[in-house]
Amino acid sequence: MRDIYHEHLDEILVEVERMTHVVSTAVRRSTNALLTADLGTAEEVIAADAQLDVAGETVEGKIFELMALQAPVAIELRMLVAALRMVADLERMGDLAAHIAKITRLRYPAAAIPDELQGVIEDMGRVAQRMVDQAGDVIKTKDVSAAQRIEATDDQMDKLRRSQFRQMMDASWPHGVEVAVDLALLGRYYERIADHAVSMAQRIIFLVTGEMPAAQ
């Protein structure tokens, strides 16, 4: 009976890892839609967010069922708590990818991103996607060192955000307030995706070591 129980525990982490692949795809596709003013792809990302929420609710239901029926303790309880928090992180990442796609929809048929900001937004999208992928790998391997390295990748996002602000705050900024607001929101969305990836990495460290890393 306990073997079946542990199989269920393992399946939960597999499903959480699977959700990271869905989120990674959403971040990539929303960024591509944003950079190319691709309304069709943007609409697909927005629609797919509801499916991610359903997947998250399914995993949450399994977690609560195991908590109620099996009374987990020690590392088993840590695993279920960590998985529950990571599902919440992934659902929020999906929401943020959908928000990025909605800016594409809002500005269509015009491009939301001026030519000189395309590079920094592309880099933000690439870093955010890589961090989601890294979080998925860490869930699979439970590698504490790899989890800690995700914070180093987050530093790259912080640098891109500062670069973006420098361009937007330059006295010669030619694109007006509306574009600046869009870009500020987009920068925040990518930054929050990165923050959630860091949070997931910290959950894995907690799962393996029993200690939550100190906030940076």
Per the rule left: phi > 0, alpha: psi between -120 and 50, beta: everything else, 213 is beta
Domain-embedded: residue 42: yes
Domain-embedded: residue 52: yes
Q: In Å, what is the CA distance from 194 to each residue of 21, 92, 133, 158? A: 15, 11, 11, 9
Domain-embedded: residue 198: yes
Domain-embedded: residue 216: no
The closest alpha carbon to 29, from 52, 1, 7, belongs to 52
> Which tens digit of pLDDT belongs to each residue from 32-53?
999 999 999 999 999 999 999 9
Give the CATH number, domain containing residue 68: 1.20.58.220
pLDDT band at 29 (very low <50, low <70, confident <90, very high): very high
- Residue 146: the pLDDT is 96
Higher pLDDT, residue 45 or 212:
45
pTM, rounded to two decimals: 0.94
Q: Angle at CA 24, nearest 5°, toward 167 and 116?
A: 20
The range of the structural domain enclosing residue 90 comes to 2-209
Q: Could you give the number of structural domains in the chain?
A: 1
> Which tens digit of pLDDT belongs to each residue from 156-170?
999 999 989 888 888
Domain-embedded: residue 90: yes
| Lookup: tokens for 151 | 């914070």
Say if CB 1 and CB 116 are below 8 A apart. no
Domain-embedded: residue 215: no
Domain-embedded: residue 190: yes
Quickly tell me which residue has 């929420």 as its tokens: 53
